[in-house]
Amino acid sequence: MGPLVQLYLSAPRADRLENSHTNHNSKTRAERWEPIYADQAGTNAWDFARISACSSRLNRQIRKRGVAKVGSRAVLPGALKLWESGMTLAPYVAGKHLLRLKASRS
């Protein structure tokens, strides 16, 4: 198990789109799993500051591409089209939760 930044993407199903998100291991969590992956390089070989910086950069890029927000979540253009068609952006529901469009940067 080497250092990894995961990007979880979901596809629309029925009348809802689950949120997509990123994740990466902390040094503490990776150390707990280290005995299970004894055949691979240990966590001492990982640069956790760099992994965290990469994950943060990915999240900033996603937020930057967002065209709206619902709750604390960035809404990308494709998800906005689904919302406008009445689809739920789980756990948020059109008509029940407020979607805020970002000011356009022209």
- Mean pLDDT, the chain, integer: 88
Of the CA atoms within 13 Å of residue 105, those in its CB half-sphere come to 6
Burial class (CB in 10 A: 0-12, 13-18, 19+), 3: middle
Q: What is the pTM of this model?
A: 0.78
pLDDT digits (tens, 9 = 90+) for 54-73: 999 999 999 999 999 999 99
* Percent with pLDDT over 70 in the chain: 95
- pLDDT (0 to 100) of residue 73: 92
Locate 83 and state its tokens: 């919302």
pLDDT of 1 over the 80 cut: no
CA pair distance 22, 80, nearest whole angstrom: 20
- pLDDT (0 to 100) of residue 106: 54
Domain map (residue ranges) of the chain: 5-101
